[in-house]
Structure 1
Amino acid sequence: MTNEHNKDYVYDGRRIKLHKAELTAILLKRFPYYAHLLPQLKHVFENRVQRFIAVKSFIIPGSQAYKEVPVLLSAAAVQLTFGLQEFELPWFRYIRVHAEEYFADDPHALRVLAGHVEENVITVAWNHFLKGIADDRDGANVGLHEMAHALYYQHVIAHNGKRKGFIKELSDVMEESEEIYTLRHNYNVLYSDYAYKNLQEFWAESIELFFEKPEALQEHYPELFDNLKELLNQDPLNKTNPLLP
């Protein structure tokens, strides 16, 4: 349906008619993480993308939406959570797309955003999202970045820390992150200046680096790399079979 107030198209994931061949073609063409996987893991990935789509609504500018949009946005979430049993991020009912970078809804400051997470909505700028998935080696991926914020919120705020095993491993990640964050001026490698805005941005950028520059992250921050492996149950150095036993 179309929202007449802001000219957005609300794409109900439950009503998307997506054939397996369409899904596979989109992922093979546009999503490198999926393309590298072993055939049996590709099948698992596809099923998770379909399930993720079915529990979300996608708010897209214009009067129509293309199936590529919900598929690729859902794939970003599935990539991050591929090693976890819970992957649907149920707190977040909506995923909003802007055609390009947009202004934050902040009366006190003029800020231009490529993505953000607020209330039960994950928002991304489509041009930045596509750029992020087109190059899976540059360490910049707004899809992973915003899904990382959503994953943190899902477990720490929405679940109120009830998933004790995940929270323990997340605490290890955040403790190591805080140590690196504090020593920024002594040892500032890999991370952008924006990562040092606060620990939440450092966490999200760590996720980007974990998947896109795993060798460098392991070399410079081995404890953080190992903590992220344990948390996400993935080894990004093994592209064909990243899931840990």
Structure 2
Amino acid sequence: MELFFDTLFLIFILLLVIWALYFIFTNIIESAWMIVFDRPLYVHFYPFPKELPSHSRKVLEDNFSFYRNLSERRKKFFSHRIYNFIKKYRFLGRGGLEVSDDMQLKIAATWVMLTFGMRKYLTSVFNTIIIFPDIFESQNGNWHKGEFNPAGRVVVFSWKHFAEGIAFDTDNLNLGLHEFAHVLHVDSVGIRRPGASGIIYKDMFGKVLEYLDNPNNRQNLLAANYFRDYAYTNSLEFMAVVLEYFFETPREFEQKLPELYGMVKKMINYRE
């Protein structure tokens, strides 16, 4: 019996030491690192990475230039995140649509692409993804191609328009990125995503708002004639549209609006 309690005590001490080290790492070491480098100390660490079947990897290669351009090592990170995304969230078809594995894969890949620079890549602000064949009537009676309902913890897509956003990947119209950008914003600013990624996102969003408040910057934005008019609806729609453009025509974005491009790049810790 004495040996049993001694073992329990040692386990307790070990767990306490691990917790203390983690606290020091996340609250002191990484905070200092972020002050100097404006990014998390690390993003990807998976002791037991999950793998996708070869068919799924081919779908990613064929449909996502982001994935194609990753190194083999980072492709494994990407696949691991997709596996966990599909496992965590519920996918429901509506209007007679049957949700296929490829649909789940493409939706998951869009979210993983958006959050690939963030250590915390799964969120609790939604738990269900609903997919209609085409435009759908929302609860408020309006017709939509996509929406995010934080109260219902639901993201809704028209599959027709979601698929078009992937198929035409340089037209700066990507429904999946747009709606998931709203999710990311609520998770990072409205609820405060824990950890380095949430802090960086919220800080950089503040800087984007300062950038928009500057009359000279507003004039340059309009003169560039780059973003579609919907971007100027409000700050939330601005960020959603900007993230579409960031992934679809990044070189043009950087050339036309280098300061804003740099802010967005830091905001999501994007690494080429």
- The separation in 1 between residues aligned to 2:85 and 2:237, in whole angstroms, is 25
Letter in 1 for 2:238: F
C-alpha contact (below 8 Å) 1:161/1:167 kept by paired residues: no
1:189 and 2:220 equivalent? no
1:23 and 2:59 equivalent? no
Compare the two structures and name the one with the higher strand fraction: 1
C-alpha contact (below 8 Å) 2:200/2:266 kept by paired residues: no
- The separation in 2 between residues aligned to 1:71 and 1:27, in whole angstroms, is 8
- The separation in 2 between residues aligned to 1:183 and 1:121, in whole angstroms, is 37
Letter in 1 for 2:147: H
What secondary structure is seen at the aligned counterpart in 2 of 1:50? helix
Q: Give, in angstroms, the shift of residue 231 of structure 1.
A: 1.1
1:112 and 2:143 equivalent? yes
Deviations 1:26-82 (A, max 9, x none): 212332321222211111100010111111011112374210111110110000001
Residue 129 of structure 2 aligns with which residue?
A: 95
Residue 200 of structure 2 aligns with which residue?
A: 165
Q: Hey, which bits of structure 1, 4+ residues long, moved more than 6 A?
A: none
Residue 175 of structure 1 aligns with which residue?
A: 210
What secondary structure is seen at the aligned counterpart in 2 of 1:59? strand
Q: For structure 1, which segment, 182-191 or 168-177, has the greater mean C-alpha deviation from structure 2 after superposition?
A: 182-191
Q: For structure 1, which segment, 147-156 or 18-27, has the greater mean C-alpha deviation from structure 2 after superposition?
A: 18-27
Deviations 1:119-178 (A, max 9, x none): 211111111111111122111111111110000011112237884333212222333245
Letter in 1 for 2:269: N
Structure-to-structure mapping, 1:182-221, within 5 angstroms: 182-183=218-219, 186-187=222-223, 189-221=225-257
Larger Rg: 2
Letter in 2 for 1:176: Y
Q: 2:112 aligns with which of 50, 55, 78?
A: 78
What secondary structure is seen at the aligned counterpart in 2 of 1:187? helix
Q: Could you say what the CA RMSD is over the residues aligned between the two structures, in angstroms?
A: 2.4
For these two proteins, the number of residue pairs brought into alignment is 216
Taking structure 2 as the reference length, the TM-score comes to: 0.72
C-alpha contact (below 8 Å) 2:97/2:131 kept by paired residues: no
Letter in 1 for 2:158: A
Q: Percent same amino acid at aligned positions?
A: 27
- The separation in 2 between residues aligned to 1:122 and 1:43, in whole angstroms, is 26
1:135 and 2:190 equivalent? no
Letter in 1 for 2:204: E
C-alpha contact (below 8 Å) 1:97/1:123 kept by paired residues: yes
Residue 148 of structure 1 aligns with which residue?
A: 181
Q: Give, in angstroms, the shift of residue 215 of structure 1.
A: 1.6
Q: For structure 1, which segment, 82-91 or 177-186, has the greater mean C-alpha deviation from structure 2 after superposition?
A: 177-186
Distance 1:34 1:98, change over 3 A: same
Letter in 2 for 1:27: L
What secondary structure is seen at the aligned counterpart in 1 of 2:223? coil
Residue 103 of structure 2 aligns with which residue?
A: 69
Unpaired runs of 5+ residues, structure 2, are 1-50
- The separation in 2 between residues aligned to 1:140 and 1:82, in whole angstroms, is 20
Taking structure 1 as the reference length, the TM-score comes to: 0.79
Q: For structure 1, which segment, 61-70 or 117-126, has the greater mean C-alpha deviation from structure 2 after superposition?
A: 61-70
Distance 1:234 1:63, change over 3 A: closer
